[in-house]
Chain A
């Protein structure tokens, strides 16, 4: 059974760094041709893709947020970590991690077939 679960701070102060962890089970982060993305959703708004890490370690980032994001993984812990620097009010919302199949040859990842439940992050001093 594939599951993903987000964890991290519920509240983060403006200008601080947000660190979120996605713990997965039911698949391997390094040899199942499956990668993990982070996607966020401001309250009442649409989804926004943020970053992706492939099974072999290649990372892709949203062009608009690339300078503030870092995605990494710890295969031994089955965890994918997203850090976002210098957070502000516009970064508040629900953060999801989601699994996507990938083609290493095409350097592509595809639709998101499994999602975590999401984690609501508030930005407040």
Chain B
């Protein structure tokens, strides 16, 4: 399964709402889709699993939704620490990652 993330880069202001998209080339079984945040020089951090479940310690401004081939990560009010690269990851059949969306300060 190929995952296509859009947009490639998203420029938004502090306090804005961010909506990141991840589209799969085939249906992701059982909504086996996760989202990660990665900052420069760091490992990815798990945000969302099972398409809509927040990982331990993740603030409730992060939310995920979707099913089948279309998934969305929403950050309701951007904080300074949210500017990073975000990856989606499907673990239905095998494991693949999207190419990432860079969220930058406008």
Chain A residues with CB under 8 Å of chain B are 37, 45-49, 52, 63, 96, 98, 100, 108-113, 115-118
Least Cβ–Cβ distance between A80 and chain B, in angstroms = 16
CA distance A37 to B91 in the complex (A): 12
Cβ–Cβ contact B44 & A47, under 8 A: yes
Cβ–Cβ contact B46 & A46, under 8 A: no
CA distance A111 to B56 in the complex (A): 13
CA distance A37 to B32 in the complex (A): 17
Which residues of chain A are within 8 angstroms of B39 by Cβ–Cβ distance?
none
The total of Cβ contacts below 8 Å across the A-B interface reads 51
14 further A-B contacts with Cβ under 8 Å, apart from A46-B99, A111-B89, A111-B91, are A47-B44, A47-B97, A48-B97, A96-B43, A100-B91, A111-B50, A111-B55, A112-B34, A112-B46, A113-B56, A115-B45, A116-B43, A117-B42, A117-B43
Mask for B30-58, Cβ within 8 A of A = 1, else 0?
Answer: 00101010000011111001100001100
Interface residue total, chain B, C-beta cutoff 8 A: 22
Query: In the complex, which residue of chain A has the Cβ closest to the Cβ of B46?
Result: A113
Which residues of chain A are within 8 angstroms of B95 by Cβ–Cβ distance?
37, 49, 52, 109
Which residues of chain A are within 8 angstroms of B9 by Cβ–Cβ distance?
none
CA distance A108 to B45 in the complex (A): 21
CA distance A46 to B87 in the complex (A): 8
Which residues of chain A are within 8 angstroms of B44 by Cβ–Cβ distance?
47, 96, 112, 115
Least Cβ–Cβ distance between A16 and chain B, in angstroms = 26
Cβ–Cβ contact B87 & A109, under 8 A: no
Cβ–Cβ contact B49 & A118, under 8 A: no
Q: Which of B73-100 contact A (CB under 8 A)?
A: 87, 89, 91, 94-100
CA distance A111 to B45 in the complex (A): 11
Least Cβ–Cβ distance between A13 and chain B, in angstroms = 26
Query: In the complex, which residue of chain A has the Cβ closest to the Cβ of B95?
Result: A49
Least Cβ–Cβ distance between B49 and chain A, in angstroms = 4
Cβ–Cβ contact B91 & A118, under 8 A: no
